[in-house]
């Protein structure tokens, strides 16, 4: 366990929730036996978590945070509680690409002390300490204080951000150097809910950051309780795959619940509405991620069938139609009239096809009733009136009619109905005046001849034409003289004399609009874009030129405006020839060459392998090339033998041995020396022909001895004839021996020359 570094005395540099303090340093090797890994990185999204419990009496078997008082090797973790309680962290010892831990202890004044009772100067000291092996982008740490101390005064020390952790003297700190740019006061933000945001930004590889938090706990806090703080780092990795923008996600589409609208009886369905929220993703340069953008909310509608209960609520009443009461025969024998009528009852039935109630099969019945006779019907039985007339007298002569009104008196005695007796009795006479019309005399007609009648029709427009700015109007003038019609005794219009009048009027704007030329639309030819093989169609483009006409008030004519040119695109199916251009090359696969039997008759070895060729065929359904049925064939080839294989066919060396030839026979030795030649011819590999050929003979002389023959022994006996000659050496024998040796050597040379040939 490394030795803890001494603390520097700290002083408050200002008053407020965020105050810079002089850095106090401790270097606990923050890894306990039960520490859990805090590495939660997913792909390029870096996520680290560190968590520590501050407990001055933390025990190995603590029910909440057990197994946190020894180091990872099982040794006691330091000398006091400052080295215990590391619940979760990131550490190279856990195989992580960096480290992050939360140091923790109490202190009074400037020095860390093993306090057990809080005083007015007691502070909790939490240190967020981290370093990274790889560069991080947009690094940020959310530090969460224990809930028990939230709302208390907090001091923040940023000097740890430039502290040289690599001088602390133990692992893993010695590997990391401090950030070259100190964190500013604005980099640490109080979120107001017991959490703090440490905005680190971009952090180079093998760099570290240290931020200290001091909480003035007051005198009421029980220091023997357990307090847990958490730090969570998020950042973006900088590996090559992390710096490339991933594909934009599909828009997020969310639907609300369908909600019924008002239920009416006008239709057989119920209109439902729901909201559709479409959220596109936009690129966030800060986090280097696609993030949800501004949602776009629209409304969708649909129709659902009504339920049985809803249909019944709208079921119409039965249709009841009555025919007119029809009177029977009216007689004067009774005071009533018999009436009959039809009653048609039509129930409604539900029509599933139209989703409406429709009239069903009508049921027709007949009803009868008696009604009292009407007065008119009584009148049918009434006696005729008694009528008496006076003389006709002319009235005033007027021109509004072809007759003259005459009057006379008329005395009518009407019979009245006596309800009591049901009989008609004459009433009081009623004297009235009657009128009639008599034809006028011709003289009376002449007094009433009408004035000649002149009539004009309305001005009527002629055919609207676009060749002038005016419209021709016409009307008729009709002059009618009156003539007397003897048949009707009236003045009647004679034959009208009709003439035509004309005039010009300015066109209205609406009429000018009728002469507006059609918008001129011109299209270029469709032009194919680059043919690609990633889709079954070819993109075509063309230009669309639209020229609108505008009205020129000065000339009262339509003139062409500025052309508007746009570009249109469409997809057309590829031709078969174009599909053929995208046909994949046949897929050719070879198995490994397999050797046949190695023989010495040939310098080659036959090899075999399978060749699988898969042609692609066009699928009209999907408009794609798909692999067809593989065609498997067998191929052979000859390969040169390896040297090892040639060695197996190497011929045996040829060995030839001559006869033994005696050397000079002397009497000094009981033996006679002998020599012979040994000729060895070995096979040599000829690279040019890849065959074994016999090489140069190698001749050696072997020496040996044989026992003397009895004759030779006798020649050396004392006193034997020729002994002196034997002692001095026999020239004949010597010559004979040399000649024999030369003969042997010459034979060997002849053999060698023959083999060279």
Q: What is the pLDDT of residues 631-646, one digit of tens each?
A: 999 999 999 989 998 9
Assign 244 a pLDDT band (cuts: 50, 70, 90): confident
Residue 232 has pLDDT above 70, yes or no: yes
Rounded mean pLDDT of 577-590?
92
What distance in Å separates the CA atoms of residue 64 and residue 493, rounded to the nearest whole number? 123
Residue 485 has pLDDT above 90, yes or no: no
| Strand blocks (E) in 180-310 | 188-190, 195-203, 207-216, 227-237, 252-255, 259-260, 269-279, 281-284, 289-292, 296-305
Q: Enter the pTM of the model.
A: 0.37
Assign 179 a pLDDT band (cuts: 50, 70, 90): low
The pLDDT, as a whole number, for residue 601 is 86
Q: pLDDT for 658-689, tens place per residue? A: 999 999 899 988 999 999 999 999 999 898 99
DSSP one-letter string for 128-149: EEEEESS-EEEEEEEEE--GGG
The pLDDT, as a whole number, for residue 25 is 44
Rounded mean pLDDT of 442-458?
89
Distances (CA, A) of 209 to 6, 99, 176, 182, 398: 19, 11, 10, 9, 125
Q: How far apart are the first and last CA of the chain?
A: 89
The pLDDT, as a whole number, for residue 182 is 72
What distance in Å separates the CA atoms of residue 489 and residue 487, rounded to the nearest whole number? 6
The pLDDT, as a whole number, for residue 113 is 59
Rounded mean pLDDT of 411-428?
84
Contact between residue 371 and residue 336 where contact means Cβ atoms under 8 Å apart:
yes
What distance in Å separates the CA atoms of residue 231 and residue 222, rounded to the nearest whole number? 23
Contact between residue 128 and residue 197 where contact means Cβ atoms under 8 Å apart:
no
Per cent of the chain over pLDDT 90 is: 53
Rounded mean pLDDT of 204-212?
91
Q: Which of 526, 512, 442 is nearest to 484 (CA)?
A: 442
The pLDDT, as a whole number, for residue 698 is 94
Residue 110 has pLDDT above 80, yes or no: no
Tell me the domains of the chain and their CATH numbers: 36-242 (2.60.40.1170), 252-313 (no CATH), 319-380 (no CATH), 386-513 (no CATH), 520-581 (no CATH), 587-648 (no CATH), 654-714 (no CATH)
Helix spans in 218-260 (H): 240-243
The pLDDT, as a whole number, for residue 13 is 32
The pLDDT, as a whole number, for residue 310 is 85
CA angle 268, 273, 277 (to 5 degrees): 155
Residue 744 has pLDDT above 50, yes or no: no
Report the phi/psi class of residue 368: left, alpha or beta, with left for phi > 0 and alpha for psi in -120 to 50. beta
Assign 385 a pLDDT band (cuts: 50, 70, 90): confident
Per cent of the chain over pLDDT 70 is: 89
What distance in Å separates the CA atoms of residue 96 and residue 298, rounded to the nearest whole number? 47
Q: Which of 346, 426, 333 is nearest to 380 (CA)?
A: 333
The pLDDT, as a whole number, for residue 144 is 98
Residue 353 has pLDDT above 60, yes or no: yes
The pLDDT, as a whole number, for residue 299 is 96
What distance in Å separates the CA atoms of residue 408 and residue 429, rounded to the nearest whole number? 16
Q: pLDDT for 286-313, tens place per residue? A: 777 889 999 999 999 999 998 989 888 8
């Amino acid at each position: 366990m490394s030795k803890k570094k001494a603390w520097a005395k700290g002083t408050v540099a200002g008053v407020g929730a965020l105050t810079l303090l002089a850095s106090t340093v401790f270097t606990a090797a923050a890894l306990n036996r039960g520490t859990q890994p805090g590495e939660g990185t997913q792909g390029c999204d870096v996520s680290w978590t560190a968590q520590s419990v501050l407990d001055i009496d933390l025990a190995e078997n603590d029910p909440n945070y057990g197994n946190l008082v020894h180091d990872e090797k099982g040794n006691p973790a330091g000398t006091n509680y400052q080295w215990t309680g590391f619940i979760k962290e990131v550490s190279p010892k856990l195989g992580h690409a960096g480290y992050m831990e939360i140091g923790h202890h109490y202190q009074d004044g400037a020095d860390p002390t093993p306090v057990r009772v809080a005083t007015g100067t007691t502070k909790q000291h939490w240190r967020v300490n981290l370093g990274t092996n790889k560069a991080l982008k947009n690094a940020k740490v959310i530090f969460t204080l224990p809930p028990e101390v939230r709302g208390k005064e907090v001091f923040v020390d940023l000097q740890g951000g430039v502290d040289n952790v690599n001088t602390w003297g133990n692992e893993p700190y010695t590997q990391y150097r401090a950030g070259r740019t100190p964190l500013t006061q604005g980099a640490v933000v109080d979120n107001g809910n017991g959490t703090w945001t440490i905005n680190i930004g971009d952090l180079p590889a093998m760099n570290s950051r240290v931020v200290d938090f001091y909480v003035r706990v007051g005198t009421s806090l029980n220091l023997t309780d357990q307090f847990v703080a958490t730090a969570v780092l998020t950042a973006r990795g900088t590996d090559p795959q992390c710096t490339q923008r991933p594909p934009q996600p599909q828009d997020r589409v969310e639907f609300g619940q369908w909600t019924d609208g008002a239920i009416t009886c006008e239709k057989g369905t119920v209109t439902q509405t729901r909201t559709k929220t479409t959220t596109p993703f936009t690129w966030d340069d800060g986090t280097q991620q696609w993030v949800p953008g501004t949602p776009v909310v629209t409304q969708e509608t649909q129709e659902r069938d009504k339920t049985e209960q809803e249909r019944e609520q709208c079921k119409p009443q039965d249709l009841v139609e009555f025919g007119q009461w029809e009177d029977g025969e009216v007689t004067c024998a009774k005071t009533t009239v018999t009436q009959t009528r039809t009653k048609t009852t039509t129930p409604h039935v539900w029509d599933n096809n139209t989703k409406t109630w429709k009239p069903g099969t009508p049921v027709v019945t007949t009803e009868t009733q008696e009604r009292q006779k009407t007065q008119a019907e009584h009148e049918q039985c009434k006696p005729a009136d008694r009528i008496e007339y006076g003389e006709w007298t002319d009235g005033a002569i007027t021109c509004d009619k072809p007759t003259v009104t005459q009057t006379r008196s008329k005395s009518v005695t009407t019979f009245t109905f006596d309800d009591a007796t049901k009989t008609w009795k004459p009433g009081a006479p009623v004297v009235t005046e009657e009128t009639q019309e008599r034809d006028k005399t011709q003289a009376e007609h002449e007094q009433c001849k009408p004035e000649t009648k002149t009539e004009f029709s309305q001005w009527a427009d002629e055919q609207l034409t676009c060749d002038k700015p005016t419209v021709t109007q016409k009307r008729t003038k009709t002059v009618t003289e009156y003539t007397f019609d003897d048949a009707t005794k009236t003045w009647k219009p004679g034959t009208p004399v009709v003439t035509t009048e004309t005039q010009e009027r300015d066109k209205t704007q609406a009429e000018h609009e009728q002469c507006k030329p059609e918008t001129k639309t011109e299209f270029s030819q469709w032009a194919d874009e680059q043919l690609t093989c990633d889709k079954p169609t070819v993109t075509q483009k063309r230009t669309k030129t639209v020229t609108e006409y505008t009205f020129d008030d000065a000339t009262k004519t339509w003139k062409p405006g500025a052309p508007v040119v746009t570009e249109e695109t469409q997809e057309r199916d590829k031709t078969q020839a174009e599909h053929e251009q995208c046909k994949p090359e046949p897929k050719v696969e070879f198995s490994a060459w397999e050797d046949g039997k190695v023989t010495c008759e040939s310098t080659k070895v036959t090899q075999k392998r399978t060749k699988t060729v898969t042609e692609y065929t066009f699928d009209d359904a999907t408009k794609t090339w798909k692999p067809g049925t593989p065609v498997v064939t067998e191929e052979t080839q000859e390969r040169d033998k390896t040297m090892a294989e040639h060695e197996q066919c190497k011929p045996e060396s040829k060995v030839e041995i001559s006869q033994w030839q005696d050397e000079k026979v002397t009497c000094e030795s009981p033996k006679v020396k002998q020599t012979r030649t040994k000729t060895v011819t070995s096979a040599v590999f000829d690279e040019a022909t890849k065959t074994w050929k016999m090489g140069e003979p190698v001749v050696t002389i072997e020496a040996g001895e044989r026992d003397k023959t009895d004759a030779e022994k006798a020649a050396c006996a004392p006193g034997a004839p020729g002994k002196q000659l034997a002692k001095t050496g026999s020239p004949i024998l010597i010559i004979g021996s040399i000649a024999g040796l030369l003969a042997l050597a010459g034979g060997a040379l002849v053999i060698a020359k023959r083999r060279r040939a």
